[in-house]
Amino acid sequence: MKPRLRFAPSPSGYLHIGGARTALFNWLWARSQGGTFVMRVEDTDQERSSIESVRAILDAFRWLGMDWDEGPEVGGPHGPYFQSERKPIYKELVEGLIREGKAYRCYCTKEELDRQREQLKARNPKAAFVYPGTCRDRTDQPDLPHVVRFKTPREGSTEFVDKVFGAISTPNAAQQDFVLVRTDGYPLYNLAATIDDHLMDITLVARARDHIGNTPQQLLLYRAFGWEPPEFAHLPMMLSPQGDKLSKRHTAVSVQEYRDRGFPPMGVLNYIVRFGWSFGDQEIFGKQQLIEAFGWDRVGKGDGKFDDKKFADVAFEHLKREDLTSLDEYASSVKPFLDARGLTDVPEAALKAAIPGIRERARTLVDAANDLDYYFREPPELDDKARQKFLTKEAAPRLEALAETLSTVEPFTADALEARAKHWAEQQGLSMKDFAQAARVALSGRSASPPLFDVMVVLGRERTLARLRRGAELAKS
């Protein structure tokens, strides 16, 4: 049977980078096996969930290039895929459990439970309060506010073999009669997730290990419903550099922030896949390679620590290498960043001609847009220091003469331009360094750029000559 996997976000914000890692493992396995990747929105908590957050999460998935086969927007045969639309399903199944004596209504009020908790605390400050089962054997069902609790077996234990953590056994006595449905009829996570994983035919649940403690409760529910449980794989955590829970205090944690910083999506996926998975010493993977290499046998238990610098290096590697980010992809990815600088109609061909000259150095697409700016801005922005240093009175006639001699170069290629410029310089008794920086500032407005003659080729003859002449004018004034 082809595996069916899922990612089940609670839409109360953005897509957290740790959530993206969890989604990635599920997605990779689905893609490598020809299986199905389901997106299920766990939005029963109306106060915390929002449609904007759902949108932000889906956008982040689209940007990362992780497509989902069933779920919001695409639908599928196991819908609805929003838990808020599945309440009647949970209700009916919970009523069945109550009828069969596997769950019960608990009428204890919050005040009563708080009082019991206080009493326990007074006796033993360290003890954890466990619901004493007051309503467990109640037979009446008055029409009063109540929660629904699971009647956890008092004997035996719940066992499973985790694909990452191995055999795990939890004595049932350690489990209290946990709440399935709140007073307001709101189904709690363990109930809704179990029912949905079953009804959506999920074969493997892979999620972060902070959920490992929920798994015994979910398994008790599978047993109570008489359902075959899926397999489980709990994944190590992505921690802060100090080893605590990774949060905004440490770094950017939303996927969107990395997009806005100009990281390429594969750079993000490549960095986060290493939290829990490794493949020998190989650090850098393209998407297809990753799909082919991924497997549960290489998923380890060790938590990882987030490292901004490492992340930035991996992202850069993806931008730099043409086998990882094709020229077409680079051009379309950098466009929004050029737009943001007001460069809204950049010709495609010139953009693609300019990119090879800058991609060796641009660590992000934000850098890339900055490095590409002068090719497309007319006139280029002029750096004051560069102007003062290099557009000197002495430089003016040189720039004019250089423009003159380059005006007739055929073809307008870097080699031909260089040969002509060298020849001209010799005749003048000059060397390259006597005019190269002035020419660079005239052409780019800056004192650093890719090789001069490459810049000229990207600019084309007309703009090269115009900029050299404009540089000469500026140098005179």
324 binds, options Zn ion, ligand GLU, none, Cβ within 5 to 8 A by partner type: none
Torsion of CA 68, 274, 302, 254, to 10 degrees: -60
Rank residues 135 and 366 by Cβ distance to Zn ion and give the closer one: 135
Residues 29-88 that bind ligand GLU (CB under 6 A): 42
Tell me the C-alpha distance between 130 and 133, whole Å.
9
For residue 135, the minimal CB distance to Zn ion (Å) is: 3
Residues 181-240 that bind ligand GLU (CB under 6 A): 193, 207, 211
For residue 8, the minimal CB distance to ligand GLU (Å) is: 4
314 binds, options Zn ion, ligand GLU, none, Cβ within 5 to 8 A by partner type: none
**255-291 burial: b if 16+ Cβ within 10 Å, else e:** beebbbebbbbbbbbbbbbbbbbbeeeeebbbbeebb
Stretch that binds ligand GLU, among 6-14, 73-81, 395-403, 455-463 (CB under 6 A): 6-14
Query: CB atoms < 10 A from the CB of 314, how many?
Result: 24
Burial of 320 (0-12, 13-18, 19+ CB in 10 A): middle
Tell me the C-alpha distance between 22 and 24, whole Å.
5
Per-residue DSSP letter, 169? E
Query: CB atoms < 10 A from the CB of 342, how many?
Result: 9
Looking at residue 124, its amino acid is N
Overall size of the chain counted in residues: 477
428 binds ligand GLU per the rule CB under 6 A: no
Choice among 110, 121, 248, 301 that is catalytic:
248
For residue 230, the minimal CB distance to ligand GLU (Å) is: 11
Interface with ligand GLU (CB under 6 A), residue from 10, 116, 183, 203: 10
Comparing C-alpha atoms, which of 14, 5, 18 is closest to residue 59? 14
106 binds, options ligand GLU, Zn ion, none, Cβ within 5 to 8 A by partner type: Zn ion
203 binds, options Zn ion, ligand GLU, none, Cβ within 5 to 8 A by partner type: none
18 binds ligand GLU per the rule CB under 6 A: no
164 binds ligand GLU per the rule CB under 6 A: no
Rank residues 78 and 318 by Cβ distance to ligand GLU and give the closer one: 78
196 binds, options Zn ion, ligand GLU, none, Cβ within 5 to 8 A by partner type: none
3-state secondary structure 296-326: HHHECCCCEECCHHHHHHHHHHHHHCCCCCC
For residue 73, the minimal CB distance to Zn ion (Å) is: 42
For residue 185, the minimal CB distance to Zn ion (Å) is: 17
**Count, residues near ligand GLU per rule CB under 6 A:** 7
Residues 6+ apart with CB under 8 A from 389: 437, 447
For residue 41, the minimal CB distance to ligand GLU (Å) is: 9
Residues 6+ apart with CB under 8 A from 344: 338
Rank residues 10 and 172 by Cβ distance to ligand GLU and give the closer one: 10
Rank residues 133 and 397 by Cβ distance to Zn ion and give the closer one: 133
Long-range contacts of 372-378 (CB under 8 A, 24+ apart): 372/334, 372/338, 373/338, 373/341, 373/343, 374/443, 374/444, 374/445, 374/446, 374/449, 375/350, 375/351, 375/455, 375/458, 375/459, 376/338, 376/343, 376/346, 376/350, 376/351, 377/343, 378/463
8 binds ligand GLU per the rule CB under 6 A: yes
382 binds ligand GLU per the rule CB under 6 A: no
Query: Footprint of Zn ion on this chain (CB under 5 A)?
Result: 106, 108, 134-135
For residue 220, the minimal CB distance to Zn ion (Å) is: 19
108 binds, options ligand GLU, Zn ion, none, Cβ within 5 to 8 A by partner type: Zn ion
Instruction: Please indicate whether residue 248 is annotated as part of the active site.
Output: yes
Interaction site with ligand GLU (CB under 6 A): 8-10, 42, 193, 207, 211
Catalytic sites, residue numbers:
248
